[in-house]
Chain A
Amino acid sequence: MSEVAERGRKKALSPWKSKSPQGSSSKAKKATQFPGVKSLNGKWGYLYVAPFVVMFAIFGLAPVVYSVYISFFHWDPLGESTFTGLHNFDRLLHDSDLWLALRNTFSIWALSTFPQMLMAIGLANILRNTRLRGKSFFRTILLVPNITSVIAITIVFSQLFGRDFGIINDILGWAGFSHHIDFIEGVIPSHVQIATMITWRWIGYNTLIFLASMLAIPNELYESSSVDGASKWQQFRYVTLPQLKNTITFVLIVGTIGGLQVFAEPQQLASDGGSSKQFLTLTLFLYNQAFVNNKYGYAASIGIFITFIVLIISAVNFVITRKISNDGTR
């Protein structure tokens, strides 16, 4: 079963890699990405994709194109709109709020991505063991946080992180901290609070992703390394980890796109971004400009800025992964 699972996963995981390694196998023709069934009347295809194409064009594509268009305007939804060229972008790049939002977004992203990834890989490595009892139970429980809404999570965690009566400050107190930490006003503590919510919600999900990819590693690799006297750590380091390269890239990219969308948690904790704008993330910045201040054109330019960041990060990621796989033995 896991083999089938892995096959489906690999394909789904790397949409940006159209040329899979299977493409060069002996069954090259069969493994081409788009074989199709020759004897079926292909013309039905137009009818079958029509609803999707129409809806996608209207609700997916058109807004993106139009967004670029209105970013060149001083766009007031209630009054008149005037063409201002690149003015919005010029103003945006000189807006200190943008750089604050970028800093906050990256800080929250880093705090939530890296510790989470280490823990998820570690957990998956434990769950991988075929002798583990209650495997299915542990896997299922891990996914429970993921089905919970961000709003409910924010309500619970903001109480747990409370300055005066929160359990987390109680625990820190027992651990010897003399001062209560203010997880709202402090810049880094406030980011830690949001990163904790994100980590709690996504760690189980990412553990399952890593687990699926570990289960696809052939058993023989472990058995032969075990015969060679490799320690558990050596097995993890030299057998497991190299095989996770693609999955790590995938989790990083999805995490980055998710990280740039962080909105509900900071908005609930301080809708205006907080006293020192410590909660102002890029998406909250966009939302406030668009739907609080009614500056559609300006907000659209923020959306384009966010898109550029996604593209840059994806490109960097792509180059690094490529370099690693070229440097590697295979």
Chain B
Amino acid sequence: MSTQMAPDTVVVKAKRVKQPRWRRVPKRNYVLLAMIVALSIFPFYWMFVVASNTNAEISKSPPSLIPGGRFLIVAKKVLSAQGVYFNTALLNTFIVGISIAIAQVIFSAIAGFAFAKLDFKGRKGLILFVVGTMMLPSQLGIIPLFMLVKNLHMVDTLYGLIVPALITAFGVFWMRQIIDAQIPNELLEAASIDGASVPRIFFRIVLPIVRQSGFVLGLFAFLAAWNDYLWPTIVLQSPKHFTLQVALTQLKPMYGLDYGLQMGGAFLATAPLLILFIFVGRKLVTGVMDGAVKG
């Protein structure tokens, strides 16, 4: 941008001093953004407030808006709730999320590389076909998929969640776009003239360059697996195999409503993601802005 302006340095300088109108940030924009920030954070804060107060304090009008002192009690209640194995569910969710994330990154990078850079017959037709099927809603195949998983004896196991998600069309397409955009053909040509084989080129040149993007893909796969509900609720049957989302829906008392218990569970199930987000939030932002990630 600055290089394009170079010939008109004087004009540019004059403009900078005058501050073109569209550049100034009105105060009300900051107020608006502050409100958005508050609205984005509030539900998390509210989970904690409800989980740390008694039902009575939450039910009065206006309700208590500050955290109470009961959070540890509620957390203990969540972890020991009858028929809900919260700790196990946490572990299950981790296992599923990590397995899917790692598998998707590796397989997507391999297939994406082939689709982006290797000249084999039928490549174009295949990738267009795959992209075309991405438009189909996932509900279309969900019943036969369940029948298939059942025949493979993976119902009510974590394999039932992991195996169908090992490679997705979306992941492959995403990596193809990344490799196509980030790695110039000349680089690979030079390497191949120097005598490097295809596997060597993939592992020594392609993988290191797309490492960051692969990491972002893995993050999104992990988050999607962590938050998935429809498929786990179909596949899993016994509480000991539940993932967090399914376990959360079981946190209902036998009678009446106990918002504290449910909110405590919701908070405990979300906290690991919030902590993760502190470290990777900016990467996710870049990921969303760089490539469209299908939600």
Q: B-contacting residues of A (Cβ < 8 Å)?
A: 4-5, 7-9, 11-13, 15-16, 18, 33-46, 48-49, 51-53, 55-56, 58-64, 66-67, 70, 77, 123, 126-127, 129-133, 136, 138-153, 155-157, 159-160, 164-165, 167, 170, 200, 202, 204-205, 208-209, 211-212, 219-220, 222-223, 226, 232, 235, 250, 254, 257-258, 260-261, 263-264, 268, 282-283, 286-287, 290-291, 296, 299-300, 302-304, 306-307, 310-311, 314
Main SS of the interface on chain A?
Answer: helix
Of A127, A165, A209, A306, which one neighbours B288 at CB under 8 angstroms? A209
Which residues of the partner chain B approach A43 to less than 8 Å between Cβ atoms? 120
Knowing A296-B143, A303-B142, the reply to whether A37 touches B185 (Cβ < 8 A) is yes
B173 with A15: CB separation less than 8 A: yes
Which residues of the partner chain B approach A302 to less than 8 Å between Cβ atoms? 139
Q: Which of B70-78, B80-88, B277-285 contacts A (4 or more CB under 8 A)?
A: B277-285
Task: Say how far B87's CB is from chain A's closest CB, in angstroms.
Answer: 17
Which residues of the partner chain A approach B20 to less than 8 Å between Cβ atoms? 222-223, 226
Main SS of the interface on chain B?
Answer: helix
Which residues of the partner chain B approach A164 to less than 8 Å between Cβ atoms? 59
Knowing A4-B181, A139-B285, the reply to whether A126 touches B33 (Cβ < 8 A) is yes
The CB with the most chain A CB atoms within 10 A, among B43, B124, B134, B193, is that of: B43
Give the complex CA separation of A259 and B33 in angstroms: 27
Task: Say how far B233's CB is from chain A's closest CB, in angstroms.
Answer: 8
A156 with B29: CB separation less than 8 A: no
A51 with B111: CB separation less than 8 A: yes
Size of interface on B: residues with Cβ below 8 Å to A: 119
**In the complex, which residue of chain B has the Cβ closest to the Cβ of A128?**
B22
Knowing A13-B292, A34-B124, the reply to whether A149 touches B282 (Cβ < 8 A) is no
**In the complex, which residue of chain B has the Cβ closest to the Cβ of A299?**
B143
Q: A-contacting residues of B (Cβ < 8 Å)?
A: 1, 4, 15, 20-25, 29-30, 32-33, 36-37, 39-41, 43-44, 46-47, 50, 58-63, 107-108, 110-111, 113-115, 117-121, 123-124, 126-128, 130-131, 133-148, 163-164, 166-169, 172-174, 177-178, 180-181, 185, 188-189, 192-193, 198-199, 201-202, 223, 226-227, 229-230, 234, 244-245, 248-249, 259, 262-263, 265-267, 269-270, 273-274, 277, 281-282, 284-286, 288-292, 294-295
